[in-house]
């Protein structure tokens, strides 16, 4: 069953394996009964007939057997208290370890160490503390290295999968990002057996149920696998699931570092007032025009920028990857389809290139002109792909000869000149002219075959009855299309 309750008190140091203590030759310790493996959390000396009430669990209990009368009851009580091992001092009370004590430790599975007369109990305690300090130092170094590796992964183009992969490497296990319903969003570290997958899904539901009493983490074991789930928090309904063959010192700390990073990477960015966005969305869903909702989106009239993005390697962006891009750009207003991610940015800000992405950005626009800005961003993205640039930004024409002609007359002339062309043909002609008549670049920008571009341009020439190789004709058409 999942265990989400707090465990017994433990010191802020990793446990010391019994084998490491036995390896200290200067102590002269010898295991004479019980298993050869145990983890030591403390050292305690007691000559009480029943030290049970004073044990926390995990102790190496040291005793000379001053009040030892019933060995079986004594050992049974130690095991019940959770003692890790018993060190029995030879002399001055006993010349040798009592045979009854050896038999009791073998029967109850408690490691029994023979402490020679020349070894003070304080020397054993000091050795354990030194081993603990060394283990703590090793743990801190490991956690520091893991923290650096996870932080570097969080800075990669796909931070969420990268962090999960690095966590799987650090913990030598399988890592999954799960929804509250147990659905896998991302995984790293290999495919799990069906039973393990189902167990991790159950744990994720425990920690990400959204209830006030839900624990922050939960653990379980299955066929030797150590399972754990951690809630990411923030009301996102996401959980981090881990499956490892062992739980080493520092594993929990490393997992917690990953939880913090993943929570930051998947949390919605609140750069714009969330209440205002929600109210504007409600108004528009109920039939209000963008102009009526605009004051709720930007009371100060701040400009908006639309960004279109595609993965540089052509892969399909998933929702979490798209959200990470939005977070890096400073916005939670993100939409992703099968190929393209669209992000809305508010306020005066400069869009910069992002590793692993190809971006196209619109010119800053009022909120009522977002459809036009969306078209600008799409065109800019096409231009970036055609020119193999990581970023292209729409630059509106200002001044020049166009400023000498009244806008209404220029628009009337453009409508008349371009009237024979349909929307797709006009867009193909605009893109082709903007790329200086390059068939290949236009095909890349429009995501069509180059023969399709040739056919469309030929159709434009025929409908317009114009020689598109003539620079005067091209100039006039470019002016009209602008």
Whether residue 39 is found in the same domain as residue 74 = yes
Look at residue 347 in the predicted model and tell me its pLDDT: 72
Last residue of a domain, one of 374, 393, 412: 393
Q: Residue 423 in contact with residue 374, Cβ under 8 Å?
A: no
Using CA atoms, how far apart are residues 132 and 137, in angstroms rounded to an integer? 9
For the question of whether the overall pTM of this predicted structure is more than 0.75, the answer is no
Does the bond joining 235 to the residue before it have cis omega, within 30 degrees of 0? no
| SS3 at position 312 | coil
Among candidate residues 469, 472, 463, 396, the one with its CA nearest the CA of residue 437: 469
Which of 33, 36, 87, 28 lies closest to 60, judged by CA? 87
Are 195 and 115 found together in one domain?
Answer: no
State the 10-residue block means of pLDDT for the chain, 482 residues long: 47 80 94 93 92 92 93 95 94 90 95 95 94 87 90 84 91 87 83 84 79 75 86 76 83 88 73 60 72 64 86 82 81 82 82 88 85 89 88 72 66 81 85 86 86 89 86 82 76
Summarize the chain as % helix, strand, coil (round to 5): 45, 20, 35
Q: pLDDT at position 424, please?
A: 85
On whether residue 136 sits in a domain, the answer given is: no
In a domain, 287, yes or no: no
> SS in 3 state form for 43-84?
EEECCCCCCHHHCCCCEEEEECCCCCCCHHHHHHHHHHHCCC
Give per-residue pLDDT as tens, 39-65.
999 899 999 999 999 999 999 999 999
- Please tell me the predicted confidence (pLDDT) of residue 403: 56
Total of domains in the chain = 4
Judgement on whether residues 198 and 248 belong to the same structural domain of the protein: yes
Q: Is residue 11 part of a domain?
A: no
The backbone torsions φ and ψ at residue 165, rounded to the nearest 5 degrees and listed phi first, read -60, -45
Helix 439-446 to helix 370-386 angle (10° resolution) is 130
Identify whether residues 421 and 319 lie together within a single domain: no
- pLDDT for position 434: 84
pLDDT digits (tens, 9 = 90+) for 60-82: 999 999 999 999 999 999 999 99
Question: Is residue 3 domain-resident?
Answer: no
Query: Edge-to-edge strand order for the sheet containing 217-222?
Result: 184-188, 173-179, 238-244, 225-231, 217-222
Give me the domain span that covers residue 77.
Answer: 16-129
Rg (CA), the chain: 35
Return the CATH number at 415: 1.10.10.2840
H-helix or E-strand spanning residue 299: none
420 and 382 share a domain? no
- Phi, psi (degrees; rounded to nearest 5) at 463: -65, -35
Please tell me the predicted confidence (pLDDT) of residue 329: 83
Q: Are 318 and 345 in the same domain?
A: yes
Task: Decide if 369 contacts 375 (C-beta within 8 A).
Answer: no
438 and 367 in a common domain = no
Q: Which tokens is 303 given?
A: 């400009």
284 part of a folded domain: no
Tell which of 363, 393, 423 closes a domain: 393
User: Does 41 lie in the same domain as 123?
Assistant: yes
* 303 vs 270: CA distance, rounded Å: 17
With CA atoms as reference, report the closest residue to 21 among 42, 2, 7.
Answer: 42
Last residue of a domain, one of 249, 266, 283: 266
- Structure tokens belonging to residue 166: 């690095």
d(CA 336, CA 320): 10
- Asked whether 96 and 121 are in contact (CB, 8 A), the reply is no
Same domain, 434 and 332: no
202 class by beta-carbon count within 10 Å (0-12 exposed, 13-18 middle, 19+ buried) = middle
List all residues 6 or more positions away from 393 whose beta carbon is below 8 Å from its beta carbon: 351, 360, 361, 362, 363, 380
- Biggest distance spanned by C-alpha atoms of the chain: 117
Asked if residue 418 belongs to a domain, the reply is yes
Q: What is the C-alpha separation between 132 and 138, in angstroms, rounded?
A: 10
pLDDT value at residue 361: 93
Pick from 322, 348, 346, 349: which is nearest to 335 by CA?
A: 322
Instruction: Identify the CATH number of the domain in which residue 180 sits.
Output: 3.30.450.30
Facing residues of 33 across strands?
A: 112
Whether 359 is in a domain gets the answer yes
Say yes or no: 161 and 199 in one domain. Answer: yes
H/E segment holding residue 5: none
Q: What CATH number did the domain enclosing 84 receive?
A: 3.40.1390.20
Q: Which residues contact 23 (CB under 8 A, 6 or more apart)?
A: none
Same structural domain, 371 and 409: no
Indicate whether 387 and 438 sit together in one domain.
Answer: no
| pLDDT of res. 420 | 85
d(CA 154, CA 164): 9
Contacts of range 17-22, beta carbons closer than 8 Å, 24 or more positions apart: 18/60, 18/84, 18/85, 18/111, 20/131, 21/60, 21/124, 21/127, 21/128, 21/131, 22/113
What is the structure's pLDDT at 114?
Answer: 95
Is residue 389 one of the residues assigned to a domain?
yes
How is residue 111 written in tokens? 């490691």
């Amino acid at each position: 069953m999942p265990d989400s309750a707090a465990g017994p008190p433990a010191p802020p140091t990793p446990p010391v394996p019994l084998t490491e203590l036995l390896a200290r030759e200067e102590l002269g310790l010898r295991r004479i009964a019980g298993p050869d493996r145990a983890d030591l959390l403390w050292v305690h000396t007691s000559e009480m007939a029943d030290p049970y009430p004073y044990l926390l669990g995990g102790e190496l209990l040291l005793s000379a057997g001053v009040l030892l009368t019933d060995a079986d009851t004594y050992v049974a009580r130690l095991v019940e208290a959770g003692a890790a091992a018993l060190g029995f001092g030879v002399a001055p009370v006993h010349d040798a370890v009592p045979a009854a004590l050896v038999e009791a430790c073998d029967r109850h599975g408690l490691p029994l160490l023979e402490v020679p007369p020349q070894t003070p109990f304080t020397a054993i305690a000091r050795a354990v503390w030194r081993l603990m300090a060394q283990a703590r130092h090793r743990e801190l170094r490991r956690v520091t290295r893991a923290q650096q590796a996870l932080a570097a992964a969080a800075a990669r183009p796909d931070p969420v999968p990268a962090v999960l992969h690095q966590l799987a490497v650090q913990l030598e296990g399988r890592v999954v990002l799960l929804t509250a319903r147990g659905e896998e969003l991302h995984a790293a570290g290999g495919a799990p057996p069906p039973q393990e997958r189902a167990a991790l899904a159950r744990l994720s539901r425990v920690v990400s149920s959204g209830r006030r009493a839900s624990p922050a983490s939960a653990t379980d074991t299955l066929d030797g696998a150590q399972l754990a789930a951690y809630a990411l928090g923030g009301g996102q309904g996401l959980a981090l699931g881990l499956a490892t063959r062992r739980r080493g010192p520092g594993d929990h700390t490393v997992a917690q570092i990953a939880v913090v990073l993943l929570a930051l990477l998947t949390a919605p960015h609140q750069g714009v007032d969330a209440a205002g966005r929600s109210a504007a969305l409600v108004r528009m869903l109920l039939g209000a025009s963008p102009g009526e909702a605009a004051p709720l989106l930007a009371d100060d009239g701040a400009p908006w920028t639309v960004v279109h993005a595609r993965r540089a390697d052509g892969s399909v962006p998933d929702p979490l990857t798209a959200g990470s891009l939005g977070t890096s750009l400073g916005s939670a207003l993100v939409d992703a389809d099968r190929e393209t991610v669209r992000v809305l940015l508010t306020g005066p800000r400069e869009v910069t290139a992002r590793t692993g992405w190809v971006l196209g950005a619109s010119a800053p626009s009022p909120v009522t002109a977002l459809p036009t800005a969306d078209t600008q961003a799409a065109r800019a993205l096409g231009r970036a792909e055609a020119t193999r640039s990581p970023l292209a930004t729409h630059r509106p024409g200002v001044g020049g000869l166009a400023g000498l002609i009244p806008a209404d007359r220029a628009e009337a002339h453009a409508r008349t000149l371009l009237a024979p062309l349909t929307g797709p043909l006009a867009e193909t002609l605009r893109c082709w002219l903007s790329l200086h008549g390059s068939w290949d670049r236009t095909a890349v920008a429009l995501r069509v075959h180059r023969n399709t571009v040739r056919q469309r341009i030929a159709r434009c020439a025929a409908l317009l009855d114009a020689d598109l190789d003539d620079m005067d004709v091209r100039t006039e058409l470019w002016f009209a299309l602008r």
